[in-house]
Structure 1
Amino acid sequence: MTDADLDLNLLVTLDVLLAEGSVTGAARRLGLSASAMSRTLARLRATTGDPLLVRAGRGLVPTPRAVALRDHVHRLTQDVQAVLRPNRLHVDIAALDMTFTLRVSEGFMEHLSAPVIAAVTQAAPGIRLRFLAKPDKDAGPLREGLIDLEIGVLGTSAPEIRTQFLFRDQFIGAVRVGHPLLDGIGVTPGRYAACHHIMASRAGDSVDAALRALGLARRIMVVVPGYPDAMRIARQSDLVALVPQSCLGNHLPGGDASLSGLESFVIPVSTPDFMISAMWHPRMDADPAHRWLRETVVTVCRAAYPKR
């Protein structure tokens, strides 16, 4: 007999037959007719090469082979049922000893990584968090299992990736304290475009499109790899940076938004908000430890940005 000929459904039936010692009792327990159970017993006899249950008076008794198999078959049946049963196991979070790898946006790393670390280590001191930079929207690392959770903007080429909304973000302007653009006259599209700008390499398409519709364009003088670099240079020059609001924490543009020598302002053209989400691969969806990590990240983010 080949592996393809095996019918694992027979294992469950054999377990019940050996436990009941009765075709009628086994049939009743499995919701089958007595004739169907008799046919299954015949198949089991042919498969195992042993009578398994034999007539003794008005009842059935197990053969020595059946007695030897009984406990083993029962354990196997329980193992199979455990594998196929939905994952509802309780996990002792405090006892976990594992590492999670997160790929995160720069704003998250700057302002939200510390409270996430605090929440995780308080509840699960054995968990280690490994943070990686998010240089793009490629879902490959999630698919390949290189990272467990990603925080940022979802790409368009990953329909299978699971997501959980965290908060809305938007682009704002950032300049050094005392910059002439914020002289009280007002930031108009023309005045904004006429400044010298510093741009993170992957940002600003929506702003530039809105300016083009008005016949304007930013004068990009410097291009840097990321938003922290843009903010660092803007703090020490007259260049204007364009960054997500989350890079300045929960400060509102135009308010008391000074942050280590920077002031923020609302971009004077209409641009869409973008959603920051937690992302993971479907294979991790039902994992209880991963689910707890996701819930922890969501709780921290919504506490930091309750109105976004």
Structure 2
Amino acid sequence: MDNVDLNLLVALDVLLAEASVTTAARRLGLSTSAMSRTLTRLRTATGDPLLVRAGRRLVPTPYALTLRDHVHTLSRDVHAVLRPRTDRLDLATLTRTFTLRANEAFIAFFSVPLMTAVAEAAPGVCLRFAPKPNKDAAPIREGLIDLEIGVAETSAPEMRVQALFDDRLVGVAREGHPLLGNVTPERYAACQHVAASPKGDTFGPVDQALALLGLKRQIRIVVPGFPDAMRIARHSDLIAQVPRSCLGNALAGDQAGQLGLQSFELPVETPSFTIAAMWHPRMDADPAHRWLRQLVGALCRAAY
């Protein structure tokens, strides 16, 4: 677009409004000679004199008169587009569907408080939780996913990442389980276990730490997600290991007790991990998306 100069549009709008090179120059902060040169360029671009002398003043040509209102509208729209956003987000009237991708644990323990907060602030907003079969970044890049919640890692370097909270693995067992009260690596490994793994993998950080001691878990069942593992542990003698966030806001045995479970510290050290919100840079400046990100962050900070 080397032959298009939007400054000419603005200048034409002012010239047609003022019908004076001197006054137009003053409004635009230009010299009279610079404004005269601009009028010459406009005449060349449009193929019309636009303003012609009538005595001691300039008057618009018939073609200029047909352009005046249209040029003014275009100039106003250009100014509106090429200035910083000043629109204010009205949550009360916001109508929008946000698609979030998160694992079962986040949905199970955060979807209700998140939806409650959203409904209170923005009743026209709908939350859609999408399946999370893997960590493929393509759906986020393509705009199919607005916000992803999960371990702070991504294969897409351009993604924005905002840490929400640090998490770690803990053990859970039914109330009154014989293991509780004396959890040693040997007694822990000797128990029967339920493992949570969407892909069916069963060897993780706990197993690595146990292996250094010459120990191995006895896994009797593998389920897709942590809520399933907790449910099985509650109704059996099997032991589960889950992120501490799965226990809810209490972060202690009280909340687990309400689920019929008791949590305990694992008898071996395992690394902590950061749970984060991830999104595509195209959503950075979107006011509604920013509000959702801030709301998710506030809920997680309140819980952890």
Aligned pairs for 1:39-58 within 5 A: 39-58=37-56
Q: Bigger shift: 196-205 or 220-229?
A: 196-205
Measure, in 2, the Cα distance between the counterparts of 1:60 and 1:214.
95
Q: Say which SS state the counterpart of residue 257 (structure 1) adopts.
A: helix
Cα–Cα, structure 1 residues 176 and 138, in superposed 2: closer, same or farther, change >3 Å? same
Match of 1:61 among 36, 44, 59: 59
Answer yes or no: is the 8 Å Cα contact 1:102–1:148 preserved in 2.
yes
Answer yes or no: is the 8 Å Cα contact 1:137–1:154 preserved in 2.
no
Measure, in 2, the Cα distance between the counterparts of 1:61 and 1:206.
83
Measure, in 2, the Cα distance between the counterparts of 1:85 and 1:210.
57
Question: Which residue is 2:189 aligned to?
Answer: 193
Q: Say which SS state the counterpart of residue 91 (structure 1) adopts.
A: coil
Measure, in 2, the Cα distance between the counterparts of 1:208 and 1:256.
26
Question: Which residue is 2:17 aligned to?
Answer: 19
Distance apart, 1:153 and its partner CA: 1.6
Question: Which residue is 1:85 aligned to?
Answer: 83
Aligned pairs for 1:102-251 within 5 A: 102-182=100-180, 184=181, 186-201=182-197, 205-251=204-250
Distance apart, 1:233 and its partner CA: 1.5
Query: In structure 2, what residue type is equivalent to 1:67?
Result: L
Measure, in 2, the Cα distance between the counterparts of 1:301 and 1:123.
17
- How much identity, in percent, do the aligned residues show? 66
Distance apart, 1:139 and its partner CA: 2.0
Measure, in 2, the Cα distance between the counterparts of 1:113 and 1:82.
38
Distance apart, 1:266 and its partner CA: 0.8
Q: Say which SS state the counterpart of residue 227 (structure 2) adopts.
A: helix
Answer yes or no: is the 8 Å Cα contact 1:253–1:266 preserved in 2.
no
Answer yes or no: is the 8 Å Cα contact 2:105–2:225 preserved in 1.
no
Distance apart, 1:256 and its partner CA: 6.6
> Which runs of no fewer than 5 residues in structure 1 stay unpaired?
none
Answer yes or no: is the 8 Å Cα contact 1:171–1:245 preserved in 2.
yes
Measure, in 1, the Cα distance between the counterparts of 2:105 and 2:205.
19
Measure, in 2, the Cα distance between the counterparts of 1:37 and 1:242.
75
Query: In structure 1, what residue type is equivalent to 2:214?
Result: G
Answer yes or no: is the 8 Å Cα contact 1:248–1:259 preserved in 2.
no
Answer yes or no: is the 8 Å Cα contact 2:104–2:227 preserved in 1.
yes
Measure, in 2, the Cα distance between the counterparts of 1:66 and 1:76.
15
Task: Give the paired residue count.
Answer: 301
Measure, in 2, the Cα distance between the counterparts of 1:229 and 1:256.
17
Distance apart, 1:223 and its partner CA: 1.6
Distance apart, 1:254 and its partner CA: 5.5
Distance apart, 1:265 and its partner CA: 0.7
Question: Which residue is 1:275 aligned to?
Answer: 274
Cα–Cα, structure 1 residues 51 and 256, in superposed 2: closer, same or farther, change >3 Å? closer
Distance apart, 1:191 and its partner CA: 2.2
Distance apart, 1:107 and its partner CA: 2.6
Q: Say which SS state the counterpart of residue 257 (structure 2) adopts.
A: coil
Q: Say which SS state the counterpart of residue 263 (structure 1) adopts.
A: strand
Query: In structure 2, what residue type is equivalent to 1:199?
Result: A
Q: Say which SS state the counterpart of residue 295 (structure 2) adopts.
A: helix
Superposition TM-score, scaled by structure 1 size: 0.89
Measure, in 2, the Cα distance between the counterparts of 1:258 and 1:246.
14
Query: In structure 2, what residue type is equivalent to 1:216?
Result: L
Answer yes or no: is the 8 Å Cα contact 1:168–1:276 preserved in 2.
yes
Q: Say which SS state the counterpart of residue 6 (structure 1) adopts.
A: coil
CA RMSD of aligned residues (A): 2.2
Measure, in 1, the Cα distance between the counterparts of 2:125 and 2:116.
11
